[in-house]
Structure 1
Amino acid sequence: MKDLDATTCTELEAAAFRRLLEHLRERTDVQNIDLMNLAGFCRNCLSNWLKDAADAKGVALSKEEIRAYVYGMPYEEWKERYQKEASPSQLKNFEESKPEH
């Protein structure tokens, strides 16, 4: 994308990010621990990265506001509706892959 101007590049990146969020909102069957085990990040990581970016720009957004944006609903509601208890194998994989996160 080296031939694109900065604005177009940012717009394309933003569109891809919005699509990623939409995909994660649709795939409520995919647990955060699965994402962490496979990719080294999850919905909460995305929320934290957005919070860091907002803070760096001086934009006052709370952790709860950002999580609701990422999850498409309040985080506590998402957990209640979709979060499942992690299995022993998921927890083992998470502990083993922690240094990579």
Structure 2
Amino acid sequence: MKVEEEASAAVLNRLRRAQGQLAGVISMIEAGRDCKDVVTQLAAVSRALDRAGFKILASGMRQCLVAEADGGEAPPMSEEELEKMFLTLA
């Protein structure tokens, strides 16, 4: 399963934003910033990564449904495979 082109652009934007936020968290720790501020920014990084993962998952689920409906080339993912992929993000 590949990530759809439209979803890929959104995912890359989220990951780049998270990369910048993570660099900021590292700088904050190195500068000895207050732990409350560090944790707040770290939570933002975590949410950005989660959203990127869910976007990939949603794209994959759409592809699986379309492939199944169209009798696509690749066999659709099983319910267990989709569940496992989803729970990986939980």
Say yes or no: TM over 0.5. Answer: no
Whichever structure has more helix as a proportion of its residues is 2
Higher relative contact order (CA 8 A, sep 6+): 2
